[in-house]
């Protein structure tokens, strides 16, 4: 049996939805699995900024969950997802490994079970939910279960993403976020997150400019990434509905009308050049189907 697993990148938070909201994007990690005569061979894979091989870890985790050993196989990996840029590269690798291992062993785990396993490793479900299920997702860790729901979109949206050349490690970005926040900041984010969901579902996208503003994490991370504030302002000034830091950064995400995508991308590139920030803006689609498995000859 030869098959491929294709998993989309993701951008978490979307501004006010800290650790709960994410969107799947049209950059991919692809894993090809084929039979091998002897042993387990791992060929290639994304360098997760010096991190561990989460694809292999995901495959082994799936095997442990069903109480079986992985069969002899060769695993080849390719990815066009920039690592350490706030695009969920680690979550994507973990989901790819879980799906590949589960499929090798007869698909005994449901997608919900795979989501739960991945959330347990990641510590939050935002990136893994978007990469696994697709679209815009809301995830929540409860005392007795992990919940994920896909948020229907009320109109056509694309994403313009500015990806800096410089890395931004999640551990550093989390370290600057305080453990407690003033009540007014918490209330502001609650309201904006609710407004964000309503705007997406109803297609009232002009509300995104307000809804994607944040008081919980983004102001603190701007100290690490000084380009964030000016680039968000530039994106909105040139036609984006709203913009935010992508995940833990340092990339910038803007939701746009497809007809304005090129203009917003150009504006972000211009702003980056004016601030000597190396990188490039790209236009991406929102991936609605999530991770897929395809059998090949």
**What average pLDDT score do residues 87-107 get?**
96
Q: Residues near 272 by Cβ (< 8 Å), separated by ≥ 6? A: 162, 164, 227, 231, 278, 279, 281
Parallel, antiparallel, or unpaired: how do β-strands 3-12 and 21-35 relate? antiparallel
pTM as predicted? 0.94
What was the pLDDT predicted at 51?
A: 56
The separation between the first and the last C-alpha atoms of the chain, rounded to the nearest angstrom, is: 8
Ranges 42-46, 87-91, 202-206, 271-275: which has the least confidence: 42-46
> If you average pLDDT over every residue of the chain, what do you get?
93
Tell me the pLDDT tens digit for each residue of 101-132: 999 999 999 999 999 999 999 999 999 999 99
Residues in the chain: 297
CATH topology of domain 3-151+286-295: Ribosomal Protein S5; domain 2 (3.30.230)
Q: Which residues of 177-208 are buried (b: 16+ CB within 10 A; e: fewer)?
A: beeeeeeeeeebbeebbebbbebbeeeebebb
**What average pLDDT score do residues 182-193 get?**
96
CA distance 56 to 93: 9
Confidence label for 297 from pLDDT (cuts 50, 70 and 90): low
pLDDT higher at 294 or 48: 294
CATH of domain 158-284: 3.30.70.890
What was the pLDDT predicted at 134?
A: 98
Model confidence at 44: pLDDT above 70: no
Tell me the pLDDT tens digit for each residue of 196-253: 999 999 999 999 999 999 999 999 998 889 899 999 999 999 999 999 999 988 999 9
Model confidence at 155: pLDDT above 90: yes
**What average pLDDT score do residues 30-49 get?**
75
Sorted by where each begins, the domain ranges of the chain are 3-151+286-295, 158-284
**What average pLDDT score do residues 78-102 get?**
95
225's tokens? 């990434």
Query: Quick check: helix, strand or coil at residue 179?
Result: coil
CA distance 250 to 165: 9
What was the pLDDT predicted at 47?
A: 54
Model confidence at 256: pLDDT above 80: yes
What was the pLDDT predicted at 42?
A: 76
Ranges 18-32, 43-57, 59-73: which has the least confidence: 43-57
**What average pLDDT score do residues 55-83 get?**
94
**What average pLDDT score do residues 268-289 get?**
97
What was the pLDDT predicted at 168?
A: 82
Match 């989501």 to its residue by tokens.
115
What was the pLDDT predicted at 120?
A: 94
């Amino acid at each position: 049996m030869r098959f491929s697993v294709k998993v989309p990148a993701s951008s978490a938070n979307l501004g006010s939805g800290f650790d709960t909201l994410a969107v799947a994007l049209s950059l991919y990690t692809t894993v090809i699995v084929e039979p091998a005569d002897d042993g387990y061979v791992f060929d290639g894979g994304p360098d997760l900024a010096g991190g561990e091989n989460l694809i292999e870890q995901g495959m082994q985790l799936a095997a442990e969950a069903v109480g079986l050993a992985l069969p002899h196989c060769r695993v080849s990996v390719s990815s066009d997802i920039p690592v350490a840029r706030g695009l969920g590269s680690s979550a994507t690798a973990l989901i790819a490994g879980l799906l590949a291992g589960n499929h090798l062993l007869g698909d005994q785990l449901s997608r919900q079970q795979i989501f739960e396993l991945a959330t347990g490793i990641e510590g939050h479900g935002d990136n893994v939910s978007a990469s696994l299920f697709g679209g815009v997702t809301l995830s929540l860790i409860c005392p007795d279960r992990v919940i994920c729901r896909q948020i229907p979109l009320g109109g056509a949206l694309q994403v313009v993403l500015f990806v800096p050349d410089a890395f931004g490690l999640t551990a550093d970005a989390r370290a600057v976020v305080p453990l407690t926040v003033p009540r007014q900041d918490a209330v502001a984010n609650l309201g904006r997150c609710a407004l964000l969901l309503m705007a997406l579902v109803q297609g009232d996208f002009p509300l995104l400019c307000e809804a994607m503003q944040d008081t919980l994490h983004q102001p603190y991370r701007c100290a690490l990434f000084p380009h964030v504030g000016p680039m968000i302002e530039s994106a909105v000034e040139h036609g984006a509905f709203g913009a935010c830091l992508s995940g833990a950064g340092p990339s910038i995400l803007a939701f746009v009308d497809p007809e304005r995508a090129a203009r917003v991308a150009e504006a972000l590139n211009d702003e980056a050049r004016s601030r000597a920030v190396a990188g490039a803006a790209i236009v991406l689609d929102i991936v609605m189907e999530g991770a897929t498995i395809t059998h090949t000859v």
